[in-house]
Structure 1
Amino acid sequence: MAQKLSGYHRALDLFEGIVGGVPHDRWSSPSPCAGWSARDVTGHVIGGQYAIIAMATGEEAPDAGTEPGRFAAGDALLAWRTARKECDAALTPEALRRPIAFGGLGELPLGDFLGGYVLEPLVHAWDLARATGQPDRLDPDLVHHAFATAQVVAADLRADGRLGPPLTPPPGATEQTRLLSFLGREPGTA
């Protein structure tokens, strides 16, 4: 199972590095996510860790999309590291085998879900980097993996209003730019 989760952990590591690099005066900076600040983006991903804990335990997941900054109040890096540590502890072998609902595709084991759960922390790492003036170049292998996931889940996310319409990338765009454009983000040069 550890091999299946290597991309997931690499995406979380990337996100953590960007959280750790946010200048103290940039937490209220607007992000590419409409209406969300850098703190909101961070809180959303932190809330996602608590949602994964809920999947692992069968409890009700918190709403990570409404007022997400509450998850990153105070020391956002400490809040992130705490949530990540708690999530890692919840991912027991039994929890990773636990079947979870995956939209219209039925159920799959939590471990398989997390094996594909690169898109969320990866793209929000880009959002946070953009909001806070950090380098926004993403790991190409993770981008490739995330793009495959995006093509599976985008229709449902757009139907729910959680993802904007796709944009047309410029000719010769990198895979990162194509992914971001597909997700409705204005990537500039990537």
Structure 2
Amino acid sequence: MVDRAAGTGVTLSFMTREPSGYDRALDLFEGVVVGVPPDAWDLPSPCAAWSARDLLGHVIGGQLEIIALIGRAEPPDAVDDPGRLAGGDPVASWRRARAACAAALTPEALATPIPFGGFGELPLRDLLDTYVLELLVHAWDLARAAGLAVRLDADLVHRASATAQVIGTTMRKEGLIGPALRPPRGAGELTRLLAFLGRDEDAFPEAPGKQ
């Protein structure tokens, strides 16, 4: 399915009718969350000034914001202290937030039109496909913070890269991502995506082995 964002002429060809990519990205992210050692939650992450706990709290906040988008709750206030949303039991906090969000995603909710920056409105089910970018990149961030090795699904990387090309300029203007880096010659799609988002793989080298 190819959707055209209202009033823009931009074709968002990476969007699908159902949030299957979003669901798989949630599973991938949770796989990293449960692998984080208990003593690693306060280690620094690739996101400047954020620990692994802060990073997870930010993603938990994203789940709660989705609920808020469809009018089921007030949006969370976690800008200054995102780690509080992860709390003392980060895995349990994540699972509660994920379950609450999943319960809110009824067929009616998935059809709800949601403002999408300068692209008009999109049904929530389509907006969730853009959220693959957030989940995938923060899965990488969290794995690197905790010293885990993780392999990211190539299809999800491709979806995330497509999203980044559409919204990356706006994110950079809003200070949500850093300056783009130059990827090495011959770099794969994940490395190019990370560089576009300002992630320096050398600053947080991959752990040996596989999660």
TM-score (norm 1): 0.94
Give the unaligned 5+ runs of structure 1.
none
Pick the structure with more helix per residue. 1
CA contact (8 A) 1:48 1:64 kept: no
Distance (Å, rounded) in 2 between the aligned partners of 1:117 and 1:80:
16
TM-score (norm 2): 0.85
Q: CA deviation at 1:138?
A: 1.2
User: Larger deviation: 103-112 or 63-72?
Assistant: 63-72
Q: 1:59 to 1:86 in 2, by over 3 A?
A: closer
Distance (Å, rounded) in 2 between the aligned partners of 1:65 and 1:142:
27
Taking the TM superposition and a 5 Å limit, the aligned residue runs for 1:19-98 are: 19-57=33-71, 59-98=73-112
Q: 1:165 to 1:184 in 2, by over 3 A?
A: same
Give the unaligned 5+ runs of structure 2.
1-15, 207-211
Q: One-letter code of the match for 1:138?
A: L
Partner of 2:3: none
Q: CA deviation at 1:82?
A: 0.3
Partner of 2:31: 17
Q: One-letter code of the match for 2:83?
A: G
Distance (Å, rounded) in 1 between the aligned partners of 2:133 and 2:77:
18
Q: CA deviation at 1:59?
A: 4.9
Q: One-letter code of the match for 1:137?
A: R
Instruction: Calculate percent identity across the aligned residue pairs.
Output: 62
Q: One-letter code of the match for 1:76?
A: P
Answer with 1 or 2: which has the greater Rg. 2
Partner of 2:5: none
Q: CA deviation at 1:4?
A: 1.9
- 1:109 correspondence with 2:123: yes
CA contact (8 A) 1:122 1:138 kept: yes
Distance (Å, rounded) in 1 between the aligned partners of 2:82 and 2:122:
27
Distance (Å, rounded) in 1 between the aligned partners of 2:73 and 2:39:
36
Q: 1:155 to 1:121 in 2, by over 3 A?
A: same
- 1:158 correspondence with 2:172: yes
- 1:185 correspondence with 2:169: no
